Amino acid sequence: MVEVTALTAHIGAVVGSAVDPVPLSKIELIRSALADHLVVVLPGQAMDPRSLDAFMDAFGPAHIHHEDQGVVHVAGLPAVLELRKDPDGALFGGSGWHADATFEDPCGKITGLYAATVPAVGGDTVFASSIAAFEALSPVMQQMLAGLNAVHSYDGPGRPDHRDLTAVHPVVRRHPISGRQGLYVNNMFVTRFDGMTREESRTLLEFLEAHITQPEFSCRVRWAPGQLVLWDNRFTLHYPVNDFDRQPRLLYRRVAV
C-alpha cells in the first residue's frame, strides 16, 4: 500500500517515502495523486536525466526549450534541462512566480523536476493552487474571468510580444480529471488580457497573482537528493526560493506538453 500524505488542505502531497519509494511503474496512482493534489513529491527515486526523460513520456510529448541565456540542455537529451546553481550563479526561474512554458501552444502541462544535489538547507520551491484560488473568488469575478483570454509571451510584460513564442490561452480552464476550474495566468509571461489595455491588464494581473499566491493556497517543498517532484502547470504557480548562496544545487527538469 503506497502512502499518499497531503502537505496542505489545498495543494501538495508526498507519495511513498525515502525508505519505501513508490515504484514509478504505478503511473495511475501517481497520475491520480497529481490530479487530486496538483504537486506530488516522490522521495527516494534513483533516476538520472535519461530515466527522467523516459518516465515523463507518460505525461505527454516533450517540450523542447529553445536556446537562450541560462538554458542548459543535457548533452544528448534535448528535452531535459540542467538547472544548476553554483556560487554566484543565477537560479533558473528564480525571478518570480510562474508556470512553465505557458507561452507555447500546447502549453506546458506537467513538469518533472529531479534533485541530484541540493543545499543542506534552503533552495525550497513554493507552489500555489490556482484551483483553490479560483474557487475562492466571487461568482461575479469568476464569470468575468471565464470570458477572458490572456496573451502569454516568452519575453514577458513590458516588451513586444515574442515573434515565435507567444500564445493566447483561456484565463479559466477545467481540469480534465477532477473537473475543477482554475486560473491560468502568471505575471512572468502574460503581457495582457485580450481586448484590454496593458494598464487594465496589469492591475488585474497583480490582483490575481497576489490572490493565487497567498499562503492559504500554497505549499512549500523542501528538496532532498533523489527526490522527484511533479506539478501541473495548468493549475499551479511556482516560485524557486533563492536563499542558499555559495552552496551547489543541481536539478534536472523535463516538461510534458
Question: Diameter of the chain by CA atoms?
Answer: 53
Give the Cα separation of 202 and 206 in Å (integer): 6
The catalytically annotated residue of 63, 65, 98, 173 is 98
198 is a catalytic site residue: no
For position 244 contacting ligand AKG by CB under 6 A, the verdict is no
CA quadruple 210, 214, 217, 218: dihedral sign: positive
| Active-site residue, from 100, 152, 169, 249 | 100
Minimum gap (Å) between residue 123 Cβ and ligand AKG: 7
Asked if 240 is part of the footprint of ligand AKG (rule: CB under 6 A), the reply reads yes
Q: Does 38 bind ligand AKG (CB under 6 A)?
A: no
Q: How far apart are CA 111 and CA 96, in angstroms?
A: 17
SS3 80: strand
- Residue 16 to residue 4: CA distance in whole angstroms: 7
Label each residue of 114-157 as H, E or C: EEEECCCCCCCEEEEEHHHHHHCCCHHHHHHHHCCEEEEECCCC
17, 32, 51, 92: which one binds ligand AKG (CB under 6 A): 92
Nearer to ligand AKG, 52 or 83 (CB): 83
93 binding ligand AKG? (CB under 6 A): yes
Shortest separation between residue 140's beta carbon and ligand AKG, angstroms: 33
Site string for ligand AKG, 95-114 (x = CB under 6 A): -----x--------------
- By CB under 6 A, residue 65 contacts ligand AKG: no
Question: How far is residue 31's CA from residue 55's CA, in Å, rounded to a whole number?
Answer: 12
Where do contacts with ligand AKG occur on this chain (CB under 6 A)? 83, 92-93, 100, 125, 238, 240, 251, 253
Kindly list the catalytic residues: 98, 100, 238, 253
